[in-house]
Structure 1
Amino acid sequence: MRSLLERASQWLALVCRVVAGLALVALLAVTIADVGSRYLYRVTEGALALRVTGSVELVSYLMLCSLLAAMAANVEKSQVVVEALSHGLAPGIKHRLHGVYLLGFAALGLVLFLGLLDSAAAAARHGEVTQDLRLPMGPIYQTAAVLSLLLGLRSLIHALLGAIFGATQEVSHGE
């Protein structure tokens, strides 16, 4: 059971890293294109009037995807156990404590998932679109919901690994 959970977590982490990386590269490409087009406009004194329409919007939604995916990819590494509370505890107990703590992130991921799914359905019903590009908001909310679900799933997996098995995949430093 433990190896199955670890493999599932590794696979989900890989998917999340790919999504985060692609979103970050796209975010950088939009930013570079926007800054470059503004520079060309200024250098050519308006002769080249190229613009990246909706760049602020694109960057904000790409940042959302990048952050949610990165959080989901690194959930087991991102939590710091307060040393004052766990200093004298054995590593197995620390891992169990960390597992219990990750149950909160699993619940958070589930709550975000359900809330974003509700927002996606409402956006689809009402035809909600983005301000500049007029893109439908439903798929944006759905993407964020899926990434929130991945955050919750990986948190749950590592909560189980920590709380039940007293183990974690993270390489511990100083223990």
Structure 2
Amino acid sequence: MQALSFVSRQLARLCLLVAGLALLAMMGVTIADVLLRLTFRLSGGALNWSVVGSVELVRYLLMFSLLAAMAASVERSQVVVEAFSHGLSPVLKERLGGLFLLGFVVLGAVMAVGLWQEAGVAAMRGQVTQDLRLPMAPIYQFGALLCALLALRSLLHALLGTFFATDGGGVHHE
């Protein structure tokens, strides 16, 4: 159980790093684009500087940040409906949460497979982004990797919640 928790924490840290870097890059692109547009306006059009492909960059960075954040916080992202779980024991609540996470395993796996297949198609056809002409295959592959991390972390927490549920006092029920 400790090994599963350790692996999950390390994967969460990696995902948070990816999400944070993607958010910082997205903010940097947005700030640079706004400042350069302001410079263009203040110069009366004399300085025609811009961030080429800023919308495209923000779109893919947002996708990476969202997928990484989902994978990083999968164990904290459930909405508990107290009306349905009010009378249940903490162990049963934890086990139900673990079973619920199996849905995220399926979702992450389906998305990972779909994005990986799209990456193969994009590589075969030589698809590139519209503005920057970047190859689409690596973008899809990185998205597939993040979806696979979502599925893996969901599986780890489903196992921890279902088979290693505690009663709140640290006593494990197997």
2:123 partner amino acid = A
The amino acid of 2:12's aligned partner reads A
Provide the C-alpha distance between the structure 2 equivalents of 1:82 and 1:149, rounded to a whole number of angstroms.
Answer: 28
Q: Counterpart of 1:49?
A: 48
Counterpart amino acid of 1:47?
A
Closer, same or farther: CA 133–167 of 1 in aligned 2, 3 Å: farther
User: Which shifted more, 83-92 or 140-149?
Assistant: 83-92
**Is residue 129 of structure 2 the alignment partner of residue 133 of structure 1?**
no
Q: Distance in 1 between matches of 2:80 and 2:100?
A: 9
Q: Residues 167 and 115 (structure 1 numbering): CA distance in 2 closer, same or farther, change over 3 Å?
A: farther
What's 2:74 paired with?
A: 75
Gaps of 5+ in 2: 168-174
Q: CA deviation at 1:46?
A: 1.0
Letter in 2 for 1:52: V
1:135 aligned partner, one-letter code: L
* Structure 1 residue 91, shift from structure 2 partner: 0.8
Q: CA RMSD in A?
A: 1.0
Instruction: Find the counterpart in structure 2 of residue 112 from structure 1.
Output: 111
Q: CA deviation at 1:80?
A: 1.2
Structure 1 residue 167: Cα displacement: 4.5
User: Per the alignment, in what secondary structure is the counterpart of residue 59 of structure 1?
Assistant: helix
Cα 1:53/1:167, change in 2 over 3 Å: farther
Distance 2:166 2:153 in 1: 14
Report if the CA contact (8 A) 1:128-1:138 is conserved. yes
Question: Displacement, 1:132?
Answer: 0.7
Specify every segment of 5 or more residues in structure 1 that has no aligned partner in the other structure, as ranges.
Answer: 169-175
Amino acid at match of 1:79: Q
Q: TM-score, normalised by structure 2?
A: 0.94
Partner Cα distance (2:107, 2:70) in 1 = 12
Give the TM-score normalised by the residue count of structure 1.
0.94
Q: Is the 8 A contact 1:161 1:167 kept in 2?
A: no
In structure 2, what is the equivalent of residue 64 of structure 1? 63
- C-alpha distance in 2, partners of 1:167/1:82? 20
Aligned counterpart, 1:20 = 19
Aligned identity (percent) is 59
1:128 deviation in Å? 0.6
Query: Does the Cα contact within 8 Å between 1:96 and 1:167 map onto a contact in 2?
Result: no
Distance 1:106 1:61 in 2: 23
SS of residue paired to 1:16: helix
Higher mean alpha-carbon deviation, 78-87 vs 123-132, is at 78-87
